[in-house]
Amino acid sequence: MEITKVIIELLVGLVVFVTGMNMMSHGLKDSAGKSIRKLFKKIKNKRLVAAGIGAGTTAIIQSSGATTVMVVGFLSAGALTFVQGFSVMLGAFLGTTVTGLLVSLSSFSFSIFLMAMAFVGFILGFFKSTTIKSVGEIFVGFGILFFGLEAMKGAFNNETIQNALVSFISSINFPLLLMVIGALLTAITQSSSATNGIVIVMVGANSSLLPSGFYLVLGATIGALMPTILAAVKSDILAKRVTYSTVICRVFGALIGTLIIWAVSKPLFNFIYSLNMSVGLVLALFTVIYNLIYIAIMLPLVTPVEKLANKLFKDREQEKKMQSLHFINNNLLNTPSIAMIQVKKEIESMFQMAKSNTFLGLDCIFNKDLSKAKEIEDREETIDFINNEISKYLILLSSKANIDDNQRIGSYYHVINDIERIGDHAYNFLEMDRKLQNEELAFSDVAKKEFESFIDILKKMFDVANKAFNDGDISDLDTLKSLEEETDILKDKLADAHFERIKKKECKMVLSPFHSNLLSELERVADHLTNIGYSIISPTGDDIAHNKKIISDDIL
């Protein structure tokens, strides 16, 4: 019965300790959260400063997991670079050592006064000020934390528990296995502070367990990364690279630390015992010293780690997208004339993708068929990707091209923008079909037939615009302009016909927004196609330059 009581005391003490730690962390986040987020946004490429911010943030909010998860978020948002994110994570683990130092104070006689802070915090909770309430929550958490430590200490001081612990740890008697246990315990609790607190109290109750305590807290440095790993699973490649690199470096660091301590364990612990210090404080100081040494070694190696991470953790999505680029590559930049030809071919490929998506999207609407939805979405992503890649390529090419080629480059910028916008309209067709199906609506057969006449004109415009852009034949521009004017007239005609059907109750009023939006989307596609055709004589792709040229030619 006695042993059951002690085990319950130990478990309850652990619960109270973790609860107090969480309360203190919550209060600290509330009072300093906004300032911390602003601080993160101001991180520069100074590694030591970034590590200091990571350590300070974790020391304030008492959670390396919260800090590193925040880093993952900033990395995914593109607000931090690899160097910045990795450096902040290095510092975060130094910040967790503050908890260990606090826990080590429980071995001193004044810890009773630290527990009394819970009452002070309770009083502060009655104030109206949010700031004072947050401070009160910190005090309550701080006091409860030490109350939990006192309960655990009482349980660990029980002779039966001590003998059981000594027997269990002695039966393991293998540093690497102890390190694994420390990592697993921390991964389960998702708190290295909790693991370190338990180990420090355990060691404080029985100094013979100090060597095992060293290996356990080294393992905790690995297990502490579990929240970060979970956060990075669905993040982008940069967040994954930083997280996985941190995990690998932490594992190597813990292994090397374990092997060194193992190799010099006898003289090292004989020396520590001769100091007559609190073993709990010794263990807490060890976590500080270990992390300082680890940071000092790793900070100069951040750049090599980044290069290795780029090789080890490939961006499969990026590689897949890169395969959609068939013609341009940086090797051609030294021969601008050839590069210009290849850029034009890449734009033609992008144009065909937008054309395919346009008519697939329209098929979705008129056939109420979403089977091609994934194909449309994937192609839309590819169009956006190609647009960005061609834009970057044109910037590089412009510094090497001659004046004439630079004028064409300016024209190409507008063309790829028009193609990208056509791709967006095509995606809008897909979204429109989803809404129609969700509301169980569909266009009438009459409306479909009318839209088919508009679509037939668009098909002709795609062909004419493509031919004009590729062949540079301005004689096709008159046809293109004529077709574009035809779409303007047809848009008004179809809109009037739709409202006539509504008056006659041959069509549902609820379809009006869809009918109007579809007409507008189709007209915009026609406008973009006109711009693409006219880009051969005007960088902006408008037909004003064409009209001016005709007038000029007539005068001459």
Q: What angle do CA 333, 338, 343 make, to 5 degrees?
A: 80
Cα distance between residue 67 and residue 61, in whole Å: 8
Average pLDDT over residues 371-378: 91
Give residue 104's pLDDT band: very low, low, confident or very high (50, 70, 90): low
Is the pLDDT at 139 greater than 90? The verdict is no
Is the pLDDT at 542 greater than 90? The verdict is no
Span 254-297, pLDDT tens digits: 999 999 999 998 898 888 888 888 888 888 889 889 999 999 99
Q: How far is CA 91 from the centre of its chain?
A: 20
CA atoms 540, 542, 545, 549: torsion sign: positive
Identify the pLDDT of residue 318. Answer: 61
Cα distance between residue 443 and residue 454, in whole Å: 15
Residues of the chain above pLDDT 90, percent: 28
Span 323-348, pLDDT tens digits: 678 888 888 888 888 889 899 999 99
Identify the pLDDT of residue 550. Answer: 32
> What domains, with CATH codes, occur in the chain?
2-314 (no CATH), 322-555 (1.20.58.220)
- Highest-pLDDT range among 301-315, 357-371, 532-546: 357-371
Identify the pLDDT of residue 428. Answer: 94
Identify the pLDDT of residue 548. Answer: 38
- Helices and strands (H and E) in the chain: how many: 25, 0
Identify the pLDDT of residue 101. Answer: 73
Which residue type, as a one-letter code, is found at position 383? I
Cα distance between residue 488 and residue 254, in whole Å: 71
- Asked if residue 351 lies in contact with residue 327, where contact means CB atoms within 8 angstroms, the answer is no
Is the pLDDT at 310 greater than 70? The verdict is yes
Mean per-residue pLDDT of the chain:
80
Q: What angle do CA 340, 341, 344 make, to 5 degrees?
A: 85
In angstroms, the Cα distances linking 45 to 77, 98, 250, 303, 467 are 17, 26, 22, 11, 49
As a whole number of Å, the end-to-end CA separation of the chain is 112
Q: Among the listed ranges 96-100, 370-374, 399-403, 449-453, which one has the minimum average pLDDT value?
A: 96-100
Cα distance between residue 102 and residue 276, in whole Å: 20
* Alpha-helix residue ranges (DSSP H) falling in 157-236: 159-172, 175-189, 192-205, 210-223, 226-232
Identify the pLDDT of residue 431. Answer: 94
Closest listed residue to residue 258, CA positions, set 163, 344, 175, 141: 175
Residues of the chain above pLDDT 70, percent: 78
Q: Among the listed ranges 75-84, 423-432, 449-458, 534-543, which one has the minimum average pLDDT value?
A: 534-543
Identify the pLDDT of residue 519. Answer: 94
Phi, psi (5° rounding) for residue 415?
-65, -50
Is the pLDDT at 41 greater than 70? The verdict is no
Q: How far is CA 301 from the centre of its chain?
A: 24
Cα distance between residue 89 and residue 65, in whole Å: 10
- Asked if residue 56 lies in contact with residue 70, where contact means CB atoms within 8 angstroms, the answer is no
